């Protein structure tokens, strides 16, 4: 008898859900979401370029402090005997 009461309860719940109105959002992204992604991407790329430029200028400042002979050579010279 308990099996039938559970089935009846389930059917009642199912009937109650089928009578409800459920709104489903449309497929795809909205125009605002697409615009947000595009603007965020542009700002992110500009931010990366600014960060790379700042790192370049920071490193360049230390290269300018080196003695004149060390600025031109990126390799270590070993004296040959």
pLDDT along the chain (81 residues), means of 10: 47 56 73 95 98 93 73 60 61
Give Cβ neighbours of residue 2 (< 8 Å, ≥ 6 apart): none
Give Cβ neighbours of residue 63 (< 8 Å, ≥ 6 apart): 71
Q: Where are the domains of the chain?
A: 29-68
pLDDT at 2: 46
């Amino acid at each position: 008898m308990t099996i039938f009461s559970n089935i009846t309860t389930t059917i009642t719940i199912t009937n109650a859900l089928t009578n409800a109105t459920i709104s489903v959002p449309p497929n795809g992204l909205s125009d605002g979401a697409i615009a947000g992604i595009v603007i965020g991407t542009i700002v992110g790329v500009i931010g990366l370029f600014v960060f790379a430029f700042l790192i370049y200028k920071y490193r360049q400042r230390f290269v300018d402090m080196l003695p004149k002979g060390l600025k031109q050579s990126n390799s270590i010279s070993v004296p040959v005997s």
